[in-house]
Every structure is written in C-alpha cells, then in structure tokens.
Structure 1
C-alpha cells in the first residue's frame, strides 16, 4: 500500500484535538509517511496544516462535506491515498461514507475527548462499523469507549499521546532565567507555582486559587508566586466570564500581588524554565498533554487524581490531589514549595518517564503500524 494518509478535521475551534494532526505530520514524514489534510476554509486547522508543510483540501462548511464526497474520492484516487484518519466524531459520517463507497480505504478514528454516552444506535453502528481501528488516548477513555462504542475490544486500542521532549530541555542561562522570572512577576527567591492551560471552569483554576489562599494562611513564611498561563479572551480559547470570576475571587482573597496572569503565550517550553512547581487541577482530562510537557521539562507536577492523569503521575514522578479539594492541593503545594531537593528528584524522574513512555516518535511508530497492518 502507499504510505499516504488523509487527516480529516472539519473543526472551526482550536484545542488539543485540532492541534494533533499538525503535531504528528512532521514525525510521520520523518518515518516515511506523506500526509494530506481536509479542513474548513479559513480555519486554524487549515492554517496549521500549511505551517506543517501540507496544503489542505478545503471545504466551505461541515454541512457541505457530504456533498463533496465525489470531489474527495477523486482527490484520494489522484493522490494514491489509502488511509483516512478522522479526529472529530462528527467527521466520521464523512469518513464512513468514503469507506462505504470505496471499501479498499482504511479508516481510523482517534477519540480525543472521551465519550460520555453510549453510541450504539443504528447510525453509530453503521459509522463505527466502517472504522478499522479506534484509538483511545488513555486507559481511562478506553474503558469508557469499550462500553460506549459498537465495536469489539480488539478494534479499540489505547494509544498514548506523545511529545518531542527536545524543546523542553533547559536552554536559558541564569541571567535569562532571572529576566523571565522578573517578567512573570516572580520575586527573587520565591517558588514559582504555575498553572498552564485554557482558562475555563473544567481546568480547575478556581480550586487552585482557593488552595493558594489556604497555603498563604497555613504557611505565611513560605515565599511563592502563582503564575496563571493562558489566554484571557474568547478568541484565545478561554472563557471570559470564568476569567472575570477568577480575578474577582483573587481580589477578595487578597492574592492579587501573589498571582500573575501571563495571558496567551507561545513559549511554554521556556516558561517552564521559570517555574518550580506545575499544577494541572483539571477535573477530567482524557489524557493530560500539559502534564507530560511539564514532566519533560523536569518539573515537579501536581495533577488531579481523576481522569487519565493518574496514568501519567505516581508518587515517584509527582503528586496527585483530589480535584475538588483545595485543602488537598494546599497540602501538596506546601510539601513541594518547602523542599527544593524533592522538586529536583521528582522532576528528574518525571522526564525519564516521558522519555520512556510518552515520546512523539514512539506514538507515531505505533500509529504507522496500524496504518500499514
């Protein structure tokens, strides 16, 4: 078979799901596979394909996708593409139709979100019945998928996401790191406690703020600075009402001098160099990409004891805390803020775990095995 794949992502949004195809395209190319893309005109997904070196086939709207089946089949034939990979459940109807009309195609679907309800009605039996392999990005989501999807267990595979660890290795010298800390509002000698991610209710920033208030009250002599990393507007993927609520609560708690809002940043690997502790208090992560990014940067990480995060972190590589319990987060923070050697030890073990289990190269190797099976 030809080593060519068409990634379908007809989304106008921008998050981990939408970023995934362009993240793996360079590694696919390195391992001998040529990628093509199908996206909406003017979407950030289409832009990301171009930045990854792929000129996408574009559609005006999701609603017109099924009307474009003939055009897409012609494109697949002309390009010699035998593999189709969908990344959004609503795109599966298009993928399933393509396979129904051309049975030689192999159809793959990655469940990036984690299904929340059964999908065993006649439509879903037809659509998922055309899927060669469904990828679950964690064991937590795989267990839900086994119960929800009309597929036998052997067609549902856990395939952990991965990252390129190289960009997360330290690059700044002491002077550059000090300047970055100053830019983030971290006083000299203070422990920087970061929380990266979209500012939305499900990401747990509210619990983190309450935990910092408890930490300040219980350990008044500890020097620390909270750093919230993420866009502040809807255009940057955040919930503006949630941002306003966070600011108001921080003011009420008297924490304004001790919590910095960085706004949207593209330099997260470098920001990690200015952080000492990274928190991921998300209530239900399907995987936890931010967790392994922080681990790759050799940071001490505290993650929620829920969703897939316990598959990434254990007591040797970080700490877990109940997602809705500020007191548990304050306790974990107090331990790490007070012990620099513990932070160093956890960070080293965390990076070693990423290098062993969560690299992009290994992820794509496993993906290609499925494409070519």
Structure 2
C-alpha cells in the first residue's frame, strides 16, 4: 500500500459527520463537483467520500468501514449522506431505513426535466433536497433549497496579457480568439459554434476560433464532419480543434470571447469559468446559463438557432471596448456571486441545520 493510499484510509468513521458518495467510476460533471468541493468542506467539517473514481488525496471511507456508520458520530445524533445520483439515494436509504443508521439524506438535483416515477419516489424519501438553479427547482415537487455551483477563482482568473497567454499555448499572439470548450457532440452545440465561425471569420480577419474538448467514439463521426466542413470553407488554420486539456484554465486566458452553444445542459460551468477569466459570454438559454450570465457580461440566445448565434456573436468581434467592458463586469460578477467557497459554505450550513434538527 502506497503512502497516498494509506493516508486515504485514515478516516475515523466516528468523526465523520458528512458522507459524500460517488458511485460512478467514470469522470462526470457530478464527480468533478465532488472533487472540487470536498477539500474546501473537509477543512470545516468532518467529511469523507465513499466510492470509486476519486483522487486518493480526498478523505475517503473504505467499504469495510460501513458498519461503523450504524453508530452515532461523535458529538451528534446523526450524520448526513449527500447523494447526487439515484444509486446514491438508494444507498443512503438502505443504510437509514433498512439498517437503521442514524442518518439524514440530502439529494442534489441538477435535472431540468420532469423526473420519472422511480426518481420521484426516491426524492420523496429525502430529508432535504437541493436544486442547482431556479429552473431546476421548478421541476421538483418537494420543498427544496437552491444552491448554485461555484468555481475556483484562484484557478480561473484573467491573465496579465492575453497575447502572452496565447503565445504560451503555441497560438498566434497577434490574433483574437473565440472559444467553445467541452465535449464535442450534437447536444453540446459544437456545430452551431463552428457554423457561426465559418460565417463570421471571413469578415473579421483578426479573429480565430478554438474548439477544446474530446469527442468520444460514438461522436467521432460528428467531429470529423465538422473538421471537413471547416476544411471546405478554407478555415482549417483559423478554426482549431485542440482536443481535451486538463489545464483548460490556461486556454480560457487566451480567449477574448467565449461561446456556450449547448442544445441541452443540466447546469453548465463553462460560462462561469470564462467570466472568471475576464471573458464575456454568448450562451444559449439552457441549463442555468440565463441565471449565470447577466446582460452586462454577455448575451443569451435561443438554443439551436444558428442565425441568433451569428447575430449575437458578431458585435463582440467588432467592438473592442464592449468586450473589455463586459469582460471586467463578468469577472466582478463571478467574484461576487459564484465563488466555490460560497457553495461549500451554503452546503455546510444545510448539513449543520439537518444535524441540529435531529431528535
């Protein structure tokens, strides 16, 4: 056993007040949220994760420690189980209702559609429900608390020079870049962004475009079709497909405009990441985008409309002062309203309220 693995087992279940299960091995938006929040939360409250697919540096319960959860935690009558998926709600219900673990269960919903009957049944068994946006809250049939996601503003921050940020990535520092980041697929609207760039870049020769993200095997044909369309337009040197990057914060710093063209989204963090980097945003009206992007920092357009996207993007390509003004406003907006520490604090307050209310 490595030192890292050994440290991850050094969690005393008696001192754990909050359990954050992650029952999905593959990386997802939910997993990413857990990875970012847990280190902040663990500084303030006894908290541990449970399940695969998480970094070893996070506090982590082992499966063999589960029987210890049937006892009360030190200093409290109950602990909190924070589920974000159906399977995690089921796990919490088995512990609480079948094995009589002293536990309150919280569920976070990011879905913006009517839940299926089984999911509604599970949600009805929760002690508290969190919605990640007001739109999401509108689909819930139970009382809920809105806690919107935040981001790490130390990681996502403006560069001293966008030209230098571009040069560090091997891009042309003399050019301006519009970007679209995330998985490359129809749902994410990557084609809407590419079509808009094909229409606009010939009229704005100082601009180029960046598509950053991975196309999984089932969406590779979709990506290849976009690349072929770009090549036929003679823009392969100006619409760049750069693949997936773990240092995506560096790519935001090279941008002068960010476009979020999704046709559907649960929440969507990329507009926040861009705005924190001092970049104005054009986004579709899906997920929480209309609640994230204010009018003084960007524009919201209907999803799937190429004409609306072109009309919204073009003023940013032509007006340097508007971009700079909105970029500064975007950064200030995120600092005031969407810091990751704020999300962590709100969740901890909810946990503590639940534990204090336990009889």
TM-score normalised by length of structure 1: 0.82
Give the aligned partner of residue 61 of structure 1. Answer: none
Q: How far 1:273 sits from its partner (Å)? A: 1.4
Unaligned runs of 5+ in 2: 1-13, 354-359
Partner residue in 2 for 1:211: 196
Change (3 A) 1:21 1:165: same
CA deviation vs aligned residue, 1:278-297 (integer Å, no higher than 9, x gap): 11111122222111111111
Distance 1:92 1:115 in 2: 18
Deviations 1:125-170 (A, max 9, x none): 3x33331111111111111123xxxx3x2xx111100112122223
1:293 corresponding residue in structure 2: 273
Superposed, which structure 2 residues align to 1:89-168 within 5 Å? 89-100=86-97, 101-102=99-100, 104-112=102-110, 114=111, 116-120=113-117, 124-125=120-121, 127-146=122-141, 151=142, 153=143, 156-168=144-156
Higher helix share: 1
Counterpart pick for 2:251 among 251, 271, 287: 271
Name the stretch that deviates more: 304-313 or 80-89. 80-89
Cα separation, 1, equivalents of 2:137 and 2:229: 37
Question: Which one of the candidate residues 228, 238, 251 is aligned to 2:211?
Answer: 228
Contact 1:73 1:98 in 2 (8 A): no
Deviation at 1:216? 3.4
Q: 1:37 aligns to what?
A: 49
Aligned length: 336
Q: CA deviation at 1:172?
A: 5.4
SS in 2 for 1:160: coil
1:9 aligns to 2:22 (yes or no): yes
Q: Normalising by the residue count of structure 2, what TM-score does the alignment of the two structures yield?
A: 0.85
RMSD between aligned alpha carbons? 2.5
CA deviations 1:165-197 (Å, max 9, x no partner) are 12222355577425235x14xx44322011111
Give, in whole Å, the separation in 2 of the partners of 1:201 and 1:145.
Answer: 27
CA spacing shift, 1:178–1:290, aligned 2, 3 Å:
closer
Q: Where in structure 2 are the equivalents of 1:1-373 lying within 5 Å? A: 4-30=17-43, 32-40=44-52, 45-46=53-54, 48=55, 50-51=56-57, 53-58=58-63, 72-75=66-69, 77=71, 82-100=79-97, 101-102=99-100, 104-112=102-110, 114=111, 116-120=113-117, 124-125=120-121, 127-146=122-141, 151=142, 153=143, 156-171=144-159, 176-180=164-168, 183-184=170-171, 187-216=172-201, 220-234=203-217, 239-373=219-353
**C-alpha displacement of 1:246:** 1.9
Contact 1:180 1:271 in 2 (8 A): no
> How much does 1:17 deviate?
0.9
Cα deviation, residue 311, structure 1? 0.8
The DSSP-based 3-state class of the residue aligned with 1:203 is coil
Contact 2:158 2:276 in 1 (8 A): no
The superposition leaves residues 28-48 of structure 1 with CA deviations (integer Å, 9 ceiling, x where unpaired) of 023x112211113xxxx23x2
CA distance in 1, matches of 2:314, 2:120: 48
Alignment CA distance shift 1:266-1:306 (3 Å): same
Is the 8 Å Cα contact of residues 69 and 101 (structure 2) preserved in structure 1? no
SS in structure 2 opposite 1:344?
helix
